[in-house]
Amino acid sequence: MRHLSWEILDFGLALKAAPDTPVWPSLIRDLGPPLQHPATPPRSIHGEKVSQGPHQQDSRDTLDGEDITSEKMAQTNPLPVPLGPWKITVYDQENFQGKRMEFAASCANIMECGFDNIRSIKVECGAWIGYEHTSFCGQQFVLERGEYPRWDAWSGSNAYHIERLMSFRPICSANHKESKLVIFEKENFIGRQWEICDDYPSLQAMGWSNNEVGSMKIQCGSWVCYQYPGYRGYQYIMESDHHGGEYKHWREWGSHAQTFQIQSIRRIQQ
């Protein structure tokens, strides 16, 4: 097992003595386990002890049985670091095998972390969005707390064979208990409207006149809208803290959106 050199350790202690100086774990990449803070007890992850200092939002990877500090926040997180308990572990092989990394914030390009793709996922805290392509583009997949051993576990009954997942980010506004949106018949918030505070596996069965939604306003929480009844087809994640909660046209639903068609809606579990 490798150990930190005294030079790096002294540098870490010097940073600790200056509370206004930000600590970037990437400065000690590949030099061994991260510095342990006496007030932060190690936590166990799949049988391995991992520590995290008070200033660190640390991601870790495991390759060939060797645990390596590998912080990628500065390179892969163009979005603000969220203020909340988020934790996701991604693997480059199905069934939680192969190389793995743990994240507490967004990753715009998993290839910058040495992965060619994400093939299984464990979500331990919070709700996340996974994207087909880098830079948060392509098809969207809601990732709530639980285990996803293969790509079809997060795509669900999508009916579209998409095995890629190249970027992801937390859903900061998810609030299952307090969620509300208003859907409109036409774009730009025109026409018949309907306020929704619950899950609807079929909008038409509950009284919506057609299989399309022109626009919507997300007043509280975050929602996932589906192309077809029964939570099937393309997924569109709608958040109260994006676009000011206002989605005027289907083009604002995501880079993969091609139609007004939305036929089932549910709240995102935090």
Same domain, 161 and 200: no
pLDDT over 90 at 94, yes or no = yes
Same domain, 94 and 197: no
- Residue 41 is predicted with a pLDDT of 36
The answer to whether residue 1 sits within a structural domain is no
Same domain, 134 and 32: yes
The answer to whether residue 126 sits within a structural domain is yes
The answer to whether residue 138 sits within a structural domain is yes
- CA 134 distance to own-chain centroid: 13
The per-type count for the chain, helices as H runs and strands as E runs, is 3, 18
Q: What residue type is assigned to position 250 of the chain?
A: W
* Domain end (from 130, 150, 170): 170
Distance CA 223, CA 146 (A): 18
Same domain, 200 and 149: no
What's the average model confidence in pLDDT over 180-201?
96
pLDDT over 80 at 75, yes or no = no
**Are the CB atoms for 70 and 59 separated by under 8 Å?**
yes
The answer to whether residue 175 sits within a structural domain is no
Same domain, 187 and 113: no
* Domain end (from 170, 192, 218): 170
Same domain, 91 and 200: no
Same domain, 59 and 127: yes
pLDDT band at 215 (very low <50, low <70, confident <90, very high): very high
- Percent of residues, the chain, with pLDDT higher than 90: 56
Same domain, 88 and 29: yes
Same domain, 72 and 135: yes
Distance CA 30, CA 38 (A): 22
Distance (Å) of CA 19 to CA 15, 36, 73, 146, 260: 7, 16, 20, 36, 51
178 phi and psi, to 5 degrees?
-130, 85
pLDDT digits (tens, 9 = 90+) for 18-57: 344 333 333 223 333 333 333 333 333 333 333 333 333 3
Same domain, 117 and 14: yes
Same domain, 141 and 237: no
pLDDT over 60 at 68, yes or no = no
| Residues in Cβ contact with 20 at an 8 Å cutoff, skipping those fewer than 6 apart | none
Structural domain boundaries enclosing 104? 6-170
| Residues in Cβ contact with 193 at an 8 Å cutoff, skipping those fewer than 6 apart | 182, 183, 184, 185
**Neighbour count for residue 255 (Cβ, 10 Å):** 14
Q: Which of 9-23, 67-81, 186-200, 245-259 has the lowest mean pLDDT?
A: 9-23
What CATH number does residue 94 fall under?
A: 2.60.20.10
The answer to whether residue 211 sits within a structural domain is yes
pTM, entire model: 0.69
The answer to whether residue 43 sits within a structural domain is yes
Same domain, 68 and 201: no
* Domain end (from 151, 170, 189): 170
The answer to whether residue 234 sits within a structural domain is yes
Question: How many independent structural domains does the chain possess?
Answer: 2
Beta strands in 117-259 (DSSP E): 120-125, 128-133, 137-143, 146-148, 167-170, 180-186, 190-196, 215-220, 222-228, 232-239, 246-247
pLDDT digits (tens, 9 = 90+) for 101-126: 999 999 999 999 999 999 999 999 99
